[in-house]
Amino acid sequence: MIKVKNLSKIYKSPVKGKNFYSDLFNRQYKETLALDNISFTIGENEIVGLIGPNGAGKTTTLKILSGILYPTSGVCQILGMVPFEKKHGFLKQISFIMGQRNQLIWDLPAIETFHLNQHIYDIPIADFKQTVDNLTKLLDCQDLIVKPVKTLSLGERMKMELIAGLIHRPKIIFFDEPTIGLDIFSQEVIRDFVKKYQTENNATIILTSHYMEDVKRLAKRLLVINKGKMLYDGDQNEIVKKYSLEKYVTVTLERKIDEKILALVAKPITYHFPRVVYKIDKSNISQTVKLISEKLKFSDLTIEEEPIEEVIKSLFQSKNKNIDN
């Protein structure tokens, strides 16, 4: 479905010279390497999380895959087609949905934008009506499509954006920060919708998000990118096994205990009676549990992996050390 090989992108930006004439006749440019020789393939019916810090190259990657940008070098094919050629058959098979980027007609009901997209993508009216009906049911928003867009909340508008972007039933979908700025409830609605839509339509999805919960809930496979370089391509569970060096041990105490006694086990990272939380190196878990049993009276004890956010930080630190060395 998606094939990327040795893909690079260099942005050129003009550098202001000493005067107008030097800028006019001898303009100098600064080059910024946004993508550095990245490669990956994505098969049918996959949801892949593309993650990294700001400026890592995530959005640049999606823009190249969707045909908005042309790569400086390398190969990029979607369904056997070159994105930047923007062939009709290609454009009918993809969708690029960006959080807080409005394609809806502000003063009109969202259904008018849906009809516009119906004509753009040449969708038969019967298929159009069925698709709108299915998507509005999935998002539980049948009553919103007839309200002016400007009267909708941010979460409601995002639902309309999703319908507008999926009206042509694309095989490949690029989601760039789909839950950005939304409240927790709205984020959950969007996540559930993306998962249900992908399951029912066998869509291939690439998702970027700064909310790691989006990635954790939706994507089994991660592409981790930083400074234009691909740092990791693999299973989410495997990255936890490889780069998670510590675990969280949470103890529910039976009674309040002096912090000096708690410190005999290890220095707690939080203590709010009755819960005390330790962050322990994996190699010391057995010894720590033994000390807890000896020193503390407790009613419950749980051992959990680090949050994926912390694991990604460990990955970045590990890769940066290798680069520096």
pLDDT band of residue 322 (cuts 50, 70, 90) is low
Q: In what order do the strands lie in the sheet with 73-78?
A: 28-42, 2-15, 73-78
What is the band of 16 on the pLDDT scale with cuts at 50, 70, 90? confident
User: Model confidence over 99-146: pLDDT tens digits?
Assistant: 877 889 999 999 999 999 999 999 999 999 999 999 999 999 999 999
Domains in the chain, ordered, with CATH?
A: 44-240 (3.40.50.300), 246-305 (3.30.70)
Work out the number of other CB atoms within 10 angstroms of the CB of residue 11. Answer: 14
Q: In what order do the strands lie in the sheet with 270-272?
A: 270-272, 275-281, 246-253, 298-305
Which of 66, 56, 62 has its CA nearest to residue 34?
Answer: 56
What is the C-alpha to C-alpha distance for residues 196 and 261, in angstroms, rounded to an integer?
49
Higher pLDDT, 124 or 244: 124
Query: What is the residue whose two structure tokens read 């003009």?
Result: 14
Q: Region 149-159: what's the mean pLDDT?
A: 93
Is the pLDDT assigned to residue 91 strictly greater than 80?
yes
**Mean per-residue pLDDT for 20-49?**
89
The span from the CA of 175 to the CA of 65, in Å, is 12
Would you say 132 and 114 are in contact if contact means Cβ atoms under 8 Å apart? yes
* Residue in the block written with tokens 């019916």: 45
Residue 67, sorted as left (phi over 0), alpha (psi -120 to 50) or beta, turns out to be left
**9 DSSP 8-state letter:** E
Decide: residue 47, CB within 10 A, 0-12 exposed, 13-18 middle, 19+ buried: buried
Average pLDDT of every residue of the chain: 91
Which of 33-47, 242-256, 284-298, 303-317 is predicted with the least confidence, judged by mean pLDDT? 303-317
- Give the whole-angstrom CA distance, residue 317 versus residue 295: 35
Q: What is the DSSP string of 263-297?
A: TTT---SEEETTEEEEEEEGGGHHHHHHHHHHH--
State residue 143's pLDDT score.
Answer: 95
**What is the pLDDT at residue 255?**
92
Q: Determine the Cα angle at 100 with ends 185 and 55, to 5°.
A: 105
Amino acid at 191: R
For residue 82, what are the contacts with CB-CB under 8 A and spacing of at least 6? 76
Q: What is the pLDDT of residue 24?
A: 73
Q: Alpha helix (H) ranges present in the chain?
A: 20-25, 58-65, 88-91, 110-120, 125-139, 154-166, 184-201, 212-218, 236-243, 259-262, 285-295, 308-324
* pLDDT tier, 321 (very low <50, low <70, confident <90, very high otherwise): low
pLDDT band of 316, cuts 50, 70, 90? confident
Measure the CA–CA gap between 42 and 56, rounded to whole angstroms. Answer: 20
pLDDT digits (tens, 9 = 90+) for 276-312: 999 999 999 999 999 999 999 999 999 998 888 888 8
Rounded to 5 degrees, what are φ and ψ at 174?
Answer: -110, 115
- Looking at residues 247-276, what average pLDDT do you find? 94
pLDDT of residue 320: 65
pLDDT digits (tens, 9 = 90+) for 168-213: 999 999 999 999 888 889 999 999 999 999 999 999 999 998 888 8
**Residue 287: strand pairing partners:** none
The reported pLDDT for the residue numbered 15 is: 84
Residue 87: the pLDDT is 93
